[in-house]
Copies of this chain bind each other. A is one copy, B any other.
């Protein structure tokens, strides 16, 4: 390795892969379910139920986040949270994350260190016992964070999105529409022309700060996933693309119609229906069962002409995604 100029916060291009990995691993080491952790060809994770729940989700700079708005810590936290939510939505407890990072050479080491901090603290806060057990580091012009989350069902049957039964109640745990509100604040207030500019925290109202946090560092109710499964949830999924779109998917998979009551959707029902990225849990339970942390928002009806009814009428609300038309040439 040739000698090279170093400063307090070198770029990744100035460091060896080993140096970068050591900096990351020093920050992600936690007590875990891993029987063998980072450093070998593969990790080995306990799967006492005799099965493993596995999901993968990727955040790409541009379509999924902007560096002007998200810190390294935010990015690590969110990449962990969205994957943990998918494990929880099966009724499983998250046990391990694998993180594949593709990083530009001009990224600073401090950014990656804070990314590792975000992963660690999201696991500790949302899914205690889960930790980063492995990963991969490559070079790319586009910062990309691909995460795989594993989980254990602890003897429970997995809760799919296809099990909703006529007469069940429809319930949610977690926020609805806050992440979309946060995204609207970013797009509406923190751009100059087409370019994102850093958030001025002093310029935010209290509700805006909470909405931004929901967008940048979401805190889905991970622990309520296994809890709902134990309580008898018949179907469950996490709401990533908006309640309306995801409730439709559950209804179609279950061959039922889901009927929602807008009065149960908070002060802005349209935002609750359309806004994505909250990663709240949508679940159905047999009538009479409602675990703490869940609130009823509707009922499961026999399959009719429409997948989804809101206040008895077909709902014409699609998931809302201002990133969809991301164009790298315009920022």
Residues on A facing B (Cβ under 8 Å): 35-36, 39-60, 62-64, 85-87, 89-90, 92, 96, 98-100, 102, 133-136, 138-142, 144, 146, 148-151, 153, 158, 160-162, 236-238, 253, 326, 328
Contact yes or no, B136 A62, CB < 8 A: no
Kindly state the separation between the CA atoms of A66 and B99 in the bound complex, as whole angstroms: 24
Known: A36-B158, A40-B161, A63-B138. A54 touches B144 (CB 8 A): no
Kindly state the separation between the CA atoms of A309 and B108 in the bound complex, as whole angstroms: 37
Please, which residues of chain B bring their CB within 8 A of the CB of A86?
Answer: 41-42
Contact yes or no, B35 A51, CB < 8 A: yes
Q: Name the residue on B nearest A146 (C-beta).
A: B146
Known: A63-B138, A326-B139. A100 touches B146 (CB 8 A): yes
Please, which residues of chain B bring their CB within 8 A of the CB of A36?
Answer: 90, 158, 160
Contact yes or no, A150 B58, CB < 8 A: no
Copies of this chain held together in the complex: 2
CB A139 to nearest CB in B, in angstroms, measures: 5
Beyond contacts A50-B50, A55-B134, A148-B148: 15 other A-B pairs, Cβ-Cβ < 8 A, are A36-B160, A43-B54, A44-B90, A45-B52, A47-B47, A47-B50, A47-B52, A52-B150, A60-B138, A62-B140, A139-B326, A140-B142, A141-B142, A141-B328, A144-B146
Known: A44-B90, A146-B146. A141 touches B141 (CB 8 A): yes
Q: Name the residue on B nearest A281 (C-beta).
A: B41
Contact yes or no, A57 B136, CB < 8 A: yes
CB A262 to nearest CB in B, in angstroms, measures: 25
Kindly state the separation between the CA atoms of A229 and B137 in the bound complex, as whole angstroms: 28
Kindly state the separation between the CA atoms of A253 and B158 in the bound complex, as whole angstroms: 39
Kindly state the separation between the CA atoms of A120 and B312 in the bound complex, as whole angstroms: 45
Partner of A54, one of B45, B55, B60: B45
